[in-house]
Amino acid sequence: MLVKEILNTEIAPLRLSDSVSLALTKMDLMNSTKYGVIDNEKNLVGMATLEHLIEVADEQTPLSEVELAEPLYIPVNQHLFEAARLMLAHELLVLPVINESFGYEGIVKRREVLNALGNLFNLSTYGSVITVEVSQKNFTLTEMVHIIETEGAKILSVAVRQPTAENPFYSISFKLNLKDSSVVSAGLRRFGYTVTSEAQSESFEMNFSDRADELIRYLDI
């Protein structure tokens, strides 16, 4: 799924001619500490940041006279995974979107990115979720997919968490079309796989809005 599919063009960017006061108001309304600034040619030239704006004595000072941070952006034809990664890395709630000529196209909002990812991973589809841990040496999806499908399940989505210093194993979560995943879990265990969790997806879906940051971190690839 591409960024252009959830592009928001209704929220105006800041311009170099806008005042610090207007920038602070807009950032407060968007609950954001960074906001894109464009020039007269509608090219993204930088990011107004709360850190720099609060140091300006006169709030009527135009942004053209204020230090701007390097622009943060996502190309309009980039995948949503990259938008999620950038928003996590830079703690952004809104991310400017540009075209091939660096022209400003609009923004994507963090909530809209999460909703789109939820649709991409079939989070709203009822079923079950199982999580399997696999060593780095033995990591391959082919056999696991074969076992799951042999047990009569259909895989609706797959998410992979990479090894960390604290946990040296791959953690693979499968969203299945089954209400009861116990047969699938048993099949995986017979082949030596470690199933670390299994649950109906209903509880995950109910808590989705409360776990938005966790989902973005899970998709930090």
pLDDT tens digits for 55-90?
Answer: 999 999 999 999 999 999 999 999 988 998 899 889
Residue spans in the chain of domains classed CATH 3.10.580.10 = 3-118
Strands 194-200 and 128-135: antiparallel
CA–CA dist 173, 197 (Å, integer) = 9
Is residue 4 packed enough to be buried (19+ CB in 10 Å), middle (13-18) or exposed (0-12)? Answer: middle
Question: What are the structure tokens assigned to 209, written together?
Answer: 């809005």
More confident residue, 2 or 16: 16
pLDDT at 97: 97
Evaluate if residue 207 carries a pLDDT over 60: no
CA–CA dist 131, 92 (Å, integer) = 29
Across the beta sheet with 14-15, the strand order is: 14-15, 34-38, 44-49
Residue spans in the chain of domains classed CATH 3.30.2130.10 = 125-218
What fold does the segment set 125-218 form as a domain?
A: VC0802-like (3.30.2130)
CA–CA dist 161, 221 (Å, integer) = 8
Q: What percent of the chain has pLDDT over 70?
A: 87
Alpha helix ranges (H) inside the chain: 20-29, 50-53, 80-90, 110-120, 141-150, 182-190, 202-206, 212-218
Domain 3-118 sits in which CATH superfamily?
CBS-domain (3.10.580.10)
Phi/psi for 177 (5° steps) reads: -85, 5
Evaluate if residue 123 carries a pLDDT over 80: no
Across the beta sheet with 104-109, the strand order is: 74-75, 94-98, 104-109
More confident residue, 166 or 15: 15
User: How many CA atoms, within 13 angstroms, populate the side-chain half-sphere of residue 165?
Assistant: 0
> What pTM value is reported for the model?
0.67
Any idea which of 34-48, 76-90, 117-131, 156-170 has the lowest mean pLDDT? Answer: 117-131
Question: What are the structure tokens assigned to 193, written together?
Answer: 């796989």
CA–CA dist 218, 159 (Å, integer) = 8
pLDDT at 203: 43
- At 59, which amino acid appears? E
Q: Of 115, 116, 99, 112, nearest to 42 (Cα)?
A: 99
